[in-house]
Structure 1
Amino acid sequence: MSNQSATEPTRAQVQRWRKYLADEVAEGAIYRTLAQKKSGQEKQILLGLAEAEARHEAHWRAKLGEHAKPVRPSLRRTILRFLARNFGSVFVLAMAQRSESNSPYRDDKDATAQMAADEQVHEEVVRALATAGRAQLSGNFRAAVFGANDGLVSNLALIMGIGATGVSSTFVLFSGIAGLLAGALSMAAGEFVSVRSQRELLTASRPTQVTLTAAPNLDLASNELVLIYKARGMSDEDAEHRAAERMGLFTCDCNPAFSLNPEERAEELESEHEELGSATGAAATSFCLFASGAIIPILPYIFGLGGLAAVAISVILVGIALMITGAIVGLLSGASPLKRGLRQLAIGWGAAAVTYCLGLLFDVQVA
């Protein structure tokens, strides 16, 4: 009887191992699906992760034996498979990173130490794969979250403060519309000025071709041309060599570093220009993002509601929007979507509560 109990898994073990098996099958499918959309080294890395998950799958199949029946994977893995098939890899990799970091193998004696170590390594591999996607999203994503949240929080706080004074629903509505337009225009104007000013600064830093037009008439002994190259970051020796070459005294490829291409800096600046985008586009994006958030708090008033009903619905709608934006931030950063959502919610509702309390101090009781 003791031998049977030692070899026959308990019901709890069977259920746990089946869950592990289903998750390993799902994770392997996720990595293979992502690999189909990639090429080169990234494709090979994803296929390597899938092979590792297959080894883990084989471990649990061997442990289960005749009990290895198909079961549904966890909700997280199911969502990941859906995202892997239909959306960009950055969201999938961010969620996969979190899944790998929460592996139960390190605390489960039925999993081998190698499997637990594999999961730790997988987290770092997925983190590295997700880095490029996060870098590409970081600037635009930050602006999107900032713009939408600013609209949500500022307009909710505005209408809560105005509404608490006892004014009519119509007054609250027009205050909200004014807040939407004022905030969106302010954001657009600020973004336009910021991007335009930065582009002008970059343009002012672009090297000119004065070294070509002025070189024939310069005196090398006076060092004016040498000063240009020193100002561009060359050492004394490099600058003197480049100046002499530019003036046609000799041509030498003995050290290509001495003959720094002046167009390289111009290409770098042009790349920075492209990354900034256009001032008009940035302004339009900021306007739309702020307005998309700011319109949510006034939706109940637009549809004719008033009083506490309008306030309650506005607070709920903004709360849902804040939870969604916070959850997306959490997903992309590999953190808990719930915690990030609750953080956004606390900040937004906290600001609205402050202005509401201030509004109560100025209760005008308009009939």
Structure 2
Amino acid sequence: MTIASASSEPSSADVRRWRRYLADERAEALVYRDLASRREGEERAILLALADAEGRHEQHWRDLLGSRLRSEPPIGLRTRVLAFLARRFGSVFVLALVQRAESRTPYDDDTDATDQMAADERIHEEVVRGLAARGRSRISGTFRAAVFGANDGLVSNLALVLGIGATGVSPQTVLFTGIAGLLAGALSMGAGEYVSVRSQRELLSGSAPSALANRAVADLDVDANELALVYRARGMSEIDSLAKAASVLAGRESLPGVATGADEHEAIGSGWSAALSSFVFFASGAIIPVIPYLIGLSGLPAIVLASGLVGVALLATGTVVGLLSGTSLLWRAIRQLLIGLGAAAVTYLLGLVFGASLG
């Protein structure tokens, strides 16, 4: 890549583009520093290093602009909001947004940006992806339960309400059916999620090394060195397991010296948090298709409003999933919408069929 515009008088379009890039680099450095202000240790150092890198990119555009930079270009509203969220929350949501921003770098195709700058942006994306992965791991269990609960509440209760409504029963019957579906589904989801998570944690705990084994180390036969079998059973080669066992026997390490399953437990989350998330989010999703009947609507207006409200909610949950996973927001949102409304439409048609046959 060469900086072609630097050797001749740049056009007004070039100057506007350079100013936009300068504002973007200033904004990204600001977000990284705001995130760093809420971190400690290694994560803080990484974020500050990223901010310094964006500062070098900022200087590149300042040098190109030279005397043409008569005032600092304003930072956009989107970035200001992102920086505010970073200062207040510093959450995985902000890191996911920053990851997406880094992935959309225009430097690959811009002759005024250096190859090093383009490469930096690609590496920055991977660095932020690694930082975001820690947060995703911490919330993945509860987040899975929350998203699954909300979507199940939206889709199942909309399908229930539309299916029952299509049979021609009274609006009061549809309303009570929707409320019953909300309560039954929320309780079932909460109980099922608790049992599921607790069972998975207990399964992992059964594979974790026992702390009591440390007490036996001092009495082991050094020559037989059966401690090496512990590491071989966990996947180490014979040579590596012998070296590891020798290190433990010499007091340089403690048993087990291998993965204990703590990361898996953290990713799964606790049973109570998963159950509560499932209950609350299922109920919050399931109440939406009931709203038209709560305010006294019936017939086609109630069906249209319920479907519209659920559609908006499905788009929102799909967007959140896409954001946290670092994938396309639009595709995730549309996928959620098509699946949810498709299932409800099938149930509505079945209700019409059964209603006609009963009539």
TM-score band, normalised by the shorter chain?
Answer: 0.7 to 0.9
Q: CA deviation at 1:304?
A: 1.2
Partner in structure 2 of residue 185 of structure 1: 187
Secondary structure of 1:362's aligned partner = helix
Aligned CA distance change for structure 1 residues 278 and 107 (closer, same or farther; 3 Å): closer
Cα offsets for 1:305-351 (capped at 9, x unmatched): 11222112111211121111111111111122222212211111111
Q: Trace 1:82-121 onto structure 2 (pairs within 5 A).
A: 82-121=84-123
2:149 to 143, 147, 150: 147
Partner of 1:168: 170
Corresponding residue pairs, total = 337
Aligned 8 A contact 2:165 2:174 in 1: yes
Taking the aligned partners of 1:139 and 1:113, their CA distance within structure 2 comes to: 40
Matched with 2:132 is: 130
2:300 aligned with 1:300, yes or no?
A: no
Distance between the aligned counterparts of 2:104 and 2:80, measured in 1? 16
Aligned to 1:23: 24
Partner of 1:159: 161
1:363 corresponds to 2:346: no
Which SS does the other structure have where 2:160 is aligned?
Answer: helix
**Aligned equivalents of 1:5, 1:277: Cα separation in 2:** 54
**1:164 positional shift:** 1.9
Q: Which residue in 2 is equivalent to 1:321?
A: 313
Separation (CA, whole Å) in 2 of partners of 1:185 and 1:353: 25
Give the corresponding residue for 1:14.
15
Q: 1:16-42 CA deviation, whole Å, 9 max, x = no partner?
A: 221111111100111111111122222
Q: Give 1:135 shift.
A: 0.8
- Computing the radius of gyration from Cα coordinates, the structure with the larger value is 1
Q: Residue 209 of structure 1: CA displacement?
A: 7.0
For 1:117 and 1:203, how far apart are their aligned partners in 2?
43
Change (3 A) 1:157 1:320: same
Contact 2:322–2:332 (8 Å) recurs in 1: yes
Distance 1:172 1:112, change over 3 A: same
1: CA distance, partners of 2:266 / 2:119: 43
Q: Is the 8 A contact 1:187 1:290 kept in 2?
A: yes
User: Residue 274 of structure 1: CA displacement?
Assistant: 8.3
C-alpha contact 2:139 2:269 (8 A) present in aligned 1: no
Is 1:167–1:365's contact at 8 Å kept on the other side of the alignment? no
Question: What letter is aligned with 2:106?
Answer: P
- State which drifts further: 169-178 or 100-109: 169-178
Change (3 A) 1:270 1:34: closer
Matched with 1:331 is 323
* 1:57 maps to 2:25: no
Give the TM-score taking structure 1 as reference length: 0.78
Give 1:240's aligned residue: none
| Cα contact 1:166–1:365 (8 A) shared by 2 | no
The answer to whether the 8 A contact 1:30-1:84 is kept is yes
Are the equivalent residues in 1 in contact too, given 2:145–2:274 (CA < 8 A)? no
1:195–1:279 contact (8 Å) kept in structure 2: yes
Deviation at 1:67, TM superposition (A): 3.1
Once the two structures are overlaid, the 10-residue window that deviates more, 277-286 or 327-336, is 277-286
Deviations 1:235-264 (A, max 9, x none): 9x9xxxxxxxxxxxxxxx9763599x9996
- Distance apart, 1:147 and its partner CA: 0.8
Q: Is 1:165–1:365's contact at 8 Å kept on the other side of the alignment?
A: no
Change (3 A) 1:6 1:203: closer
Q: Identify the range of structure 1 (68-77 vs 12-21) with the bigger mean alpha-carbon deviation.
A: 68-77
1:272/1:81 CA distance change after superposition, 3 Å: closer
Distance 2:130 2:273 in 1: 31
Structure 2-normalised TM-score?
A: 0.79
Pairwise CA distance, 1:296:
1.0
Structure-2 separation of matches of 1:21 and 1:254:
57
**Contact 2:142-2:269 within 8 A present in 1 as well:** no
